[in-house]
A and B are shown apart, each in its own frame.
Chain A
């Protein structure tokens, strides 16, 4: 193992300063908590001459609700998400996912933006945000564009950002009454564990009928993905145990996992079924409770 190759560290105070540095410097990369990036630098999987530290850019750290939309600054840490009453109350799904990440130390440093931009297929906040229909605000010195979160993921550990771009915000509609969600994660141990697979489900009921279903899975394909086929099976129908089983089975058929050191593709495929079924049952139960 090598020592981390040397780099220059820049500590901008504002977003525009950060964007300018990113634009101007050759071979520059943003660093937020560094909990992914430092490991990659040390492994030689990534190299950078300049690191632009987002830790001092306070305008990227916020959680707020505006016009029935929840907005989260990209540099918000997992610990901040966990402490937020707004998140706990309105999107327990994201709260549960953040709670499952790493350890206290990792949650204190690691950020939402870092988790998503690192684009690991197993990132724990990705399935919940996909299930919440999140969008990403991406800024550069040229302006800001809004993309569906799914478009941020280009492949394993590859995001679709262009040079000079930063993720600045994640936003999604506040889940309405009658909705229920669930986050399920399977690891190789109970604490401080990377997902063998993870599943997030969002269901919205209207008089017993499923008005909207969103299912997202992680670590079962090159990127975290939604499961449209299974979602369609549920939408517009009266939910039942059998229907949920069928939808979960459809997920098993749709996933394209790989063998790696954490698990075999076969096991992941089977667990896609088990965890999706559990998540759907749990979300259904919560949605019914929410409707009462």
Chain B
């Protein structure tokens, strides 16, 4: 039996409730106008490219035109191009040229071998764009081609050319829980199929960018678009061969990231930094759209063979899942991605017998990387399609069938993790179904060639990092002499608003007006390390570190205020920027007066908050253990209208529900849901990266089609389920990724409901749906 909590972590949800003793919170749980909204709406907010002054050296990447080849690089001619300042190759990297995220398979600059079309070979630095472009062409790369693999099957052939040492299987995973075969023999119905999900490009509005400034000897500052300033610092220092303290990273406001900038932030900032250090002058690298789409990581494609069985009572008795992730040229995040898929393979259901195998395979294509949902989108597409099919085989309603299997408090996950609290799956499913007026065999309209259908999808998503990876976060809070506050977090603003969520947590705890808390831009020279803004951890982990800082400062403020007011500490309350005596609220001091007193008395006005996640545990042999400290649960019901003459699918309405632990800001949750609905529609219905022999043929908005505002359906008000998580501030859990996961299978299931057609491969474009309808016609 596995011990769940080591008890070292504080139970933040209770502490805060008891401590604040408020019937209704001041800002937590209420929607506010984000403090950064106006600047952005007015176009005044500054993004990386806005910081680059004229006269900055231009950096361009020389890239491989071949998918797999040994290379020789000659930069002589390029150096002769007028206006060229330097051409840097692997030989110019002063530190380490190996920059693989999880495995040492990825050179920072490729000097000997290239692994996909677009692999970076050299950096051209020039005075102007034109000279840089000319010099990029002038770098002579001699290719000695190697056989290339573009599909999983080709890469897995025994005689396939290894893309990296050690062969084309980068990593494997497995789970053995119960006895799958015994489970299948107890099954009344069984369904089996293979599902395939494609690349998805993030298509953030702001492409990758970095601006680097050398600061005298042995220091460089880089401003960039990113999700993890401290990871960026680590990678820049690694490439330069410097100490962490010699590198200063500033995260400019980031114009969309969705995971992509977690991977690209370090790679782009390190290139700009290397150029700046080598040139001894400021240098900037800004990707254009083609580069961003064709050569940077995307959602990993995956192939999933899935067999599942259920008994006559509608209980899932076993699942057997075989997962193959297409890494592309580098493993990058594939080990974590694959593990997440493996761990979540059964979906949000209690299944006693599970056998899951996974492998991540190299191919000579653009590599995969972080993307909202991180493997859970693909695995839930398969799992939720399977669940629908089991229900159909049993003649059961898909909602009813799910309700018989969902994880509940006391359930054990596929990894045998006991879920003892904060498990709102059932409430989400019931809530979404009820809101949508879900009824078995409901008659859906048919209007001419248009048929309607409804579908449901459930999801769960482990928050933050998995297995035994240490997980912690830090933040700092300073009370200034005038009573205002300076808040610092390494959690990045990517559009999602996590730092504003932190500020709300702080405001609640110290009773300060939200507007008096200034959120500073993350700067590794002054901001505490909060670890990355990924894994839906920004609010849960970062916000709890904020709470820790606020609690410490609050205690000092209260004790000084008690003396100033001449009352016991227990009677002091903090609200609206003042401390007062609860017994006699007219007895008060403003935060400005209080701050002055703290400074005078030598009581520290600054607090450093630190939070660490409860310890987790994992057995690599069986895959069993405590994987994620907590899970967010979600369900969606989707109604679609299919035009059977054209194959076009119109998502008419979505009814979302989510167990968020605690809603710090309902409006920001809606924001995440609305964005995820669009991104989910894109992934399910239209986004299709066309890659031919390793070459991306549609690296632009014109032909890589993402949903427009007119493709956005009506989204019902989100049903917010609050099953607080014991170990986070106010019990909040992550929202960003869970928002997208259930949408995808819900749309596919709705299309099935409307047309009787089941699609195992995404995207379900109009043309594919049309062809399938035609094939079915007698």
Partner-binding segment picked from A47-55, A166-174, A206-214, A263-271: A263-271
Residues of B within 8 A of A188 (CB): 686, 705, 765-766
Check: A262 CB closer than 8 A to any chain B CB: yes
Check: B419 CB closer than 8 A to any chain A CB: no
Residues of B within 8 A of A264 (CB): 767
Query: In whole angstroms, what is the CA distance A191 to B645 when docked?
Result: 20
Cβ-neighbour of A3 out of B133, B291, B771 (below 8 A): B133
Cβ-neighbour of A261 out of B703, B708, B710 (below 8 A): B703
Residues of A within 8 A of B710 (CB): 189-192
Query: In whole angstroms, what is the CA distance A262 to B698 when docked?
Result: 10
Check: A186 CB closer than 8 A to any chain B CB: yes
The minimal Cβ–Cβ distance linking A270 to chain B, given in whole angstroms, is 7
Check: A291 CB closer than 8 A to any chain B CB: no
A270 touches B770 (CB 8 A): yes
Given contacts A2-B133, A194-B702, A274-B645, contact A261 B711 (CB under 8 A): no
Check: A1 CB closer than 8 A to any chain B CB: yes
Chain A's closest residue to B699 (CB) is A1
- Interface centre among B133, B290, B705, B709, by most chain A C-beta atoms within 10 angstroms, is B705
Query: In whole angstroms, what is the CA distance A230 to B772 when docked?
Result: 28
Cβ-neighbour of A191 out of B711, B765, B766 (below 8 A): B711
Residues of B within 8 A of A193 (CB): 705, 708
Given contacts A189-B686, A261-B697, A261-B698, contact A1 B708 (CB under 8 A): no
Check: B51 CB closer than 8 A to any chain A CB: no
Check: B646 CB closer than 8 A to any chain A CB: yes
Chain A's closest residue to B289 (CB) is A1
Residues of A within 8 A of B770 (CB): 267, 270
Check: B144 CB closer than 8 A to any chain A CB: no
Residues of B within 8 A of A2 (CB): 133
Given contacts A193-B708, A263-B767, A270-B770, contact A186 B646 (CB under 8 A): yes
Name B691-712 residues within 8 Å CB distance of A: 697-698, 702-703, 705-711
- Interface centre among A186, A188, A194, A264, by most chain B C-beta atoms within 10 angstroms, is A188
A190 touches B708 (CB 8 A): yes
Chain A's closest residue to B132 (CB) is A3
Residues of A within 8 A of B765 (CB): 188
Cβ-neighbour of A1 out of B290, B650, B702, B706 (below 8 A): B290
A191 touches B705 (CB 8 A): no
Name A26-52 residues within 8 Å CB distance of B: none
**What is the total number of residues of chain A having a CB less than 8 Å from a CB of chain B?**
20
Residues of A within 8 A of B705 (CB): 188-189, 193
Query: In whole angstroms, what is the CA distance A188 to B767 when docked?
Result: 9
The minimal Cβ–Cβ distance linking A198 to chain B, given in whole angstroms, is 13
> Contact flags (1/0) for B732-769 with A, using CB distance below 8 Å?
00000000000000000000000000000000011100
Residues of B within 8 A of A190 (CB): 650, 708, 710-711
Query: In whole angstroms, what is the CA distance A262 to B290 when docked?
Result: 18
B133 touches A262 (CB 8 A): no
Check: B129 CB closer than 8 A to any chain A CB: yes
A262 touches B129 (CB 8 A): no
The minimal Cβ–Cβ distance linking A150 to chain B, given in whole angstroms, is 26
The minimal Cβ–Cβ distance linking A281 to chain B, given in whole angstroms, is 10
Check: B5 CB closer than 8 A to any chain A CB: no
Name A234-266 residues within 8 Å CB distance of B: 261-264
Residues of A within 8 A of B698 (CB): 261
Check: B130 CB closer than 8 A to any chain A CB: yes
Query: In whole angstroms, what is the CA distance A267 to B771 when docked?
Result: 8
Residues of B within 8 A of A3 (CB): 129-130, 133
B709 touches A191 (CB 8 A): yes
Residues of B within 8 A of A261 (CB): 690, 697-698, 703
> Contact flags (1/0) for B708-744 with A, using CB distance below 8 Å?
1111000000000000000000000000000000000
Query: In whole angstroms, what is the CA distance A186 to B767 when docked?
Result: 11
Residues of A within 8 A of B709 (CB): 191
The minimal Cβ–Cβ distance linking A258 to chain B, given in whole angstroms, is 14
Query: In whole angstroms, what is the CA distance A82 to B476 when docked?
Result: 55
> Contact flags (1/0) for B625-649 with A, using CB distance below 8 Å?
0000000000000000000011010
Check: B288 CB closer than 8 A to any chain A CB: yes
> Contact flags (1/0) for A194-223 with B, using CB distance below 8 Å?
100000000000000000000000000000
The minimal Cβ–Cβ distance linking A176 to chain B, given in whole angstroms, is 30
Residues of B within 8 A of A1 (CB): 288-291
The minimal Cβ–Cβ distance linking B288 to chain A, given in whole angstroms, is 5
Query: In whole angstroms, what is the CA distance A191 to B710 when docked?
Result: 5
Query: In whole angstroms, what is the CA distance A271 to B774 when docked?
Result: 13
Residues of B within 8 A of A270 (CB): 770, 774
The minimal Cβ–Cβ distance linking A241 to chain B, given in whole angstroms, is 13
- Interface centre among B289, B650, B686, B711, by most chain A C-beta atoms within 10 angstroms, is B711
Chain A's closest residue to B129 (CB) is A3
Residues of B within 8 A of A6 (CB): 130
The minimal Cβ–Cβ distance linking A99 to chain B, given in whole angstroms, is 12
Name B274-332 residues within 8 Å CB distance of A: 288-291
Name B639-666 residues within 8 Å CB distance of A: 645-646, 648, 650
The minimal Cβ–Cβ distance linking B645 to chain A, given in whole angstroms, is 5
The minimal Cβ–Cβ distance linking A107 to chain B, given in whole angstroms, is 14
Residues of A within 8 A of B289 (CB): 1
The minimal Cβ–Cβ distance linking A29 to chain B, given in whole angstroms, is 21
Residues of A within 8 A of B645 (CB): 274
Query: In whole angstroms, what is the CA distance A262 to B710 when docked?
Result: 19
Query: In whole angstroms, what is the CA distance A194 to B290 when docked?
Result: 19
Query: In whole angstroms, what is the CA distance A274 to B643 when docked?
Result: 11
Query: In whole angstroms, what is the CA distance A219 to B702 when docked?
Result: 16
Residues of A within 8 A of B133 (CB): 2-3
Cβ-neighbour of B707 out of A189, A194, A271 (below 8 A): A189
Residues of A within 8 A of B711 (CB): 189-191
Chain A's closest residue to B137 (CB) is A2
The minimal Cβ–Cβ distance linking A255 to chain B, given in whole angstroms, is 16
Residues of A within 8 A of B646 (CB): 186, 271, 274
Query: In whole angstroms, what is the CA distance A292 to B130 when docked?
Result: 64
Query: In whole angstroms, what is the CA distance A267 to B767 when docked?
Result: 6
Query: In whole angstroms, what is the CA distance A224 to B774 when docked?
Result: 27
Chain B's closest residue to A2 (CB) is B133
The minimal Cβ–Cβ distance linking B656 to chain A, given in whole angstroms, is 21
Query: In whole angstroms, what is the CA distance A262 to B702 when docked?
Result: 10
Chain B's closest residue to A186 (CB) is B646
A192 touches B708 (CB 8 A): yes
Residues of A within 8 A of B708 (CB): 189-193
Residues of B within 8 A of A271 (CB): 646
Query: In whole angstroms, what is the CA distance A71 to B2 when docked?
Result: 81
Residues of A within 8 A of B650 (CB): 190
Query: In whole angstroms, what is the CA distance A194 to B708 when docked?
Result: 12
Residues of A within 8 A of B703 (CB): 261-262
Query: In whole angstroms, what is the CA distance A100 to B595 when docked?
Result: 60
The minimal Cβ–Cβ distance linking A266 to chain B, given in whole angstroms, is 8
Chain A's closest residue to B448 (CB) is A278
The minimal Cβ–Cβ distance linking A252 to chain B, given in whole angstroms, is 13
Residues of B within 8 A of A263 (CB): 767
Name A98-115 residues within 8 Å CB distance of B: none
Query: In whole angstroms, what is the CA distance A193 to B770 when docked?
Result: 19
Chain A's closest residue to B706 (CB) is A189
Query: In whole angstroms, what is the CA distance A192 to B712 when docked?
Result: 13
Query: In whole angstroms, what is the CA distance A263 to B703 when docked?
Result: 11
The minimal Cβ–Cβ distance linking B245 to chain A, given in whole angstroms, is 37
Query: In whole angstroms, what is the CA distance A218 to B353 when docked?
Result: 56
The 6 closest A-B pairs by CB, nearest first: A191-B710, A191-B708, A190-B710, A3-B129, A188-B705, A1-B288
Query: Known pairs A189-B710, A190-B708. 18 more at Cβ < 8 A?
Result: A3-B130, A186-B648, A186-B766, A188-B765, A188-B766, A189-B705, A189-B706, A189-B711, A191-B709, A191-B711, A192-B708, A194-B702, A261-B690, A261-B697, A261-B698, A267-B770, A270-B774, A274-B645
CB within 8 Å of A: which residues of B? 129-130, 133, 288-291, 645-646, 648, 650, 686, 690, 697-698, 702-703, 705-711, 765-767, 770-771, 774
Question: 8 A-B Cβ contacts within 8 A?
Answer: A3-B129, A6-B130, A188-B765, A190-B708, A191-B711, A261-B690, A267-B770, A270-B774
